[in-house]
Amino acid sequence: MLRFWFIVRHISQASDPNKNMAKRILVVDDDPAIRDLVRDYLTEHGIEVLAASGGHEMGRILESETVDLVVLDVKMPGEDGFNLARMLRARSTLPIIMLTGQGHEVDRVLGLELGADDYVTKPFSPRELLARIRAVLRRHDLAAVTPAASPSGSFAEPRNYRFAGWSLATGTRKLSTPAGEKVELTNGEYSLLVTFLRAPRAILTRDQLLEGSRLHADIYDRSIDVQILRLRRKIEENPNEPRLIRTERGAGYFFDADVTTTT
């Protein structure tokens, strides 16, 4: 197994005073034709591209360069893109888009479960990849609305959120009621709740909730209403008269509670 010895130097652009600077993407793929295709197309659209042929080169680049997102191939000779994604996610919140084989649903699901932000199936159009990169970067910026800075300068998810007597541990994804009882959350419910907790009392549109909760754009926006209904049933005293997840008619939803964090 590849030993990751690099220190990720990624710092969220959401906290950078120069927000208009070009984004920098790292493409990791053993196929030079794909690397060149992606580099040429993204460069034409104002995105700087670094390229690596495998995990070791990826590590060297991440040790010395700052990047905003990694595009990572699943299948590379002698290397497993899933292992690379797992090790990268364990050390960083750096957004990841996986390149998977066409029709390999298991690959897509596994990549998302390991913490990838999105996937693109091969063969793909550069235009689609660009659109997904922009979408992932938008929701990553949204997710950084209330990040906590670590001493090293990188941004990390708080270990615990507390609101209205409730507690959510991000490490275990366990939600506890004010009475200390455990409440099980689905992946979608957890991601949606974290999106609200990162931006308390901010009105979030359905599009923002789709992006912030990592629910894919091919899911109709009304599915957010279904997810919110399910989440309300778990955290609201009376789901028919919600006091935490409030509806702002014609605009979206907002989380109406003070939220504190520990890291």
DSSP 23: P
**Angle subtended by helix axes 105-113 and 81-91, to nearest 10:** 20
Reading the chain (263 residues) residue by residue, the pLDDT tens digits are: 454 445 455 444 443 433 446 789 999 999 999 999 999 999 999 999 999 999 889 999 998 888 999 999 888 877 778 888 888 877 777 888 888 876 555 555 665 666 677 888 888 889 999 998 988 887 666 555 444 433 333 445 678 999 999 999 988 888 999 999 999 887 778 888 998 999 999 999 887 887 766 554 444 445 678 889 989 999 999 999 999 999 998 889 999 999 999 87
18 and 119 share one domain: yes
Q: CA geometry: angle at 149 spanning 148 and 151, to 5°?
A: 140
Domain-terminating residue out of 143, 178, 212: 143
DSSP run (H or E) holding 59: helix 55-64
Which residue carries 């070791």 as its tokens?
A: 56
Q: What is the dihedral of CA 216, 219, 220, 221, to 10 degrees?
A: -30
Count structural domains, the chain.
2
- Answer yes or no: is 39 within a domain: yes
Range of the domain at 198: 157-262
How far apart, in whole angstroms, are the C-alpha atoms of residue 50 and residue 177?
46
Do 117 and 180 share a domain, yes or no? no
Cis peptide before 158 (omega within 30 of 0): no
The CATH number of whichever domain residue 253 belongs to comes to 1.10.10.10
Other beta carbons within 10 angstroms of residue 135's beta carbon come to 18
Structure tokens at 143: 């997710």
Backbone angles phi and psi of 5, in degrees to 5: -115, 0
Q: Are residues 116 and 184 in the same domain?
A: no
Tokens of 8: 């990720």
